Structure 1
Amino acid sequence: MTSIYGHRGAKGEAPENTLVGFQRCLEHGVRRCELDLHLSRDGELMVIHDPTLKRTTGRRGKVVEHDAEELTRYDARSGGPGWKQPCPIPRLSELFEKCDFEHWQLEVKSASRVRAARTVLAIKALAERHQLLDRITVTSSSREVLRALMRLTPEIPRGLVAEYTWLDPLKVARQYDCRLLALKWTLCTPERIAKAQAQGLHVSVWTVNEPALMRRLADFGVDSLITDFPGLAVETLGKG
């Protein structure tokens, strides 16, 4: 059975990477989510996709140039579906407190060696505090991040985010002892999926928003789909 992950909460239904988006995902009975993390200037894990603030908040500057307290006052409604109330950038700690997901894919974007180390250690500390270590997988397309995970937090399951095939995703996943492969849907063939699963990987495919494509990938046997429209995915596939 193919399970469903809400992409950045429910990106097609509510502002991405905001508390209301993750709550919308849960309202559909979808208890798995994918989100993106950046560190604030004072070292807190903030849930936002871009390294800069412009696209989702309309503000200038980088996430890392602002303290967490400032960031939680910025409204992240821009560029998404219309929403009446302001939607602040959340801390990951707030989502851990308020959203009962059974599994979280936490994506860390590319980072310097020092920043990768600080980020993965912050994730471990927060997940331990909330007793969620057994419910998270940290994913990345960055070798620096995957190396930091192997070196500093080997107990946290790792996932490779793969968008291109010029680097063999299965080889890279094996190199970093990953348990999950987050594969762009355009790379999905029945052969690649079967090969990945034979290697012990959970194959999670993004970003899947069309019902016909959801059904096709489910028929291919993917383990999970990451979608902007968790409500539509539930209608199309059932809960999963």
Structure 2
Amino acid sequence: MTLIYGHRGAKGEAPENTLTSFRRCLERGVRRCELDLHLSQDGELMVIHDPTLKRTTGRRGKVSEHDAQELMTYDARLGGPGWVQSCPIPRLAELFEKCDFEHWQLEVKSASRVRAERMVLAIRELAERYELLRKITVTSSSRTVLRALEQLTPDLSRGLVAEYAWLDPLKVAKNYGCDLLALNWTLCTPERLLKAQQQGLHVSVWTVNEPALMRRLADFGVDSLITDFPGLAIATLGKG
């Protein structure tokens, strides 16, 4: 059975990485999600993909230059599906409080060593507070982030995000003790998938939006797929 994760909530159906988007994902019957994190100036984990505010809010500057209370007033529905109501940037804590997901993939983008360490410790503290340690995998393509996870929060599940094959993703995942491989679908050959699963990795493939591709990857035997359209994925594959 191939499990389904909503990409940034339900990115194709509602403004990405907003409470509205994650609620839409749950309404579709998909109880697993993927999201992106950046730290606010005052050290809060904010759910937003880009390090800058421009694309989703139209505002200038970096996420890291604003306090959480300020960021939570910014409307993040630009560039996505049309939406009538304002959709503020959420704190991760707010999603933990309001959304009952069975599993969360929390992606941390590249960061300096100090920032990576601050982020993974903040994730662990929140996960513990909301009793979600076993329901979270922290993912990253950054070796710095994966190293911080391995050294500072070894009890948190971790995963490698692999977009390119120029470094063997299976080798990198093994080096950092990962148990999940978030693989760009273009890299998902039956051979690589089998090798990864034999290595004990859960293989989660992204971003899969076409029904024919969903079916093909499910036939390959991927453990899960990440989609902008959780409703379409449910209609195509059934409940994962």
TM above 0.5: yes
The separation in 1 between residues aligned to 2:163 and 2:47, in whole angstroms, is: 21
Report the counterpart of residue 11 of structure 1 in structure 2.
Answer: 11
Q: Does 1:124 align with 2:134?
A: no
Report the counterpart of residue 93 of structure 1 in structure 2.
Answer: 93
Report the counterpart of residue 139 of structure 1 in structure 2.
Answer: 139
Deviations 1:177-202 (A, max 9, x none): 10000000000100000000000000
The separation in 1 between residues aligned to 2:21 and 2:88, in whole angstroms, is: 11
- Matched residue SS, 1:138: strand
TM-score in terms of structure 1 length: 1.00
Give the total of aligned pairs.
Answer: 240
The separation in 1 between residues aligned to 2:171 and 2:66, in whole angstroms, is: 38
Q: Does 1:153 align with 2:153?
A: yes
Report the counterpart of residue 210 of structure 1 in structure 2.
Answer: 210
Report the counterpart of residue 238 of structure 1 in structure 2.
Answer: 238
Deviations 1:33-90 (A, max 9, x none): 0000000000000000000000000000000000000000000000000000000000
- Matched residue SS, 2:89: coil
Matched letter for residue 5 of structure 1: Y
TM-fit CA distance, 1:126: 0.4
Report the counterpart of residue 51 of structure 2 in structure 1.
Answer: 51
The separation in 2 between residues aligned to 1:166 and 1:59, in whole angstroms, is: 35
* Alignment RMSD (CA, Å): 0.2
Report the counterpart of residue 82 of structure 2 in structure 1.
Answer: 82
User: Following TM superposition, where does structure 1 have runs of at least 4 consecutive aligned residues deviating by more than 3 angstroms?
Assistant: none
Matched letter for residue 68 of structure 1: A
- Matched residue SS, 2:100: coil
Q: How many percent of aligned residue pairs carry the same amino acid?
A: 84
The separation in 2 between residues aligned to 1:164 and 1:25, in whole angstroms, is: 28
TM-fit CA distance, 1:163: 0.3
In the TM superposition, 1:61-72 aligns within 5 A as 61-72=61-72
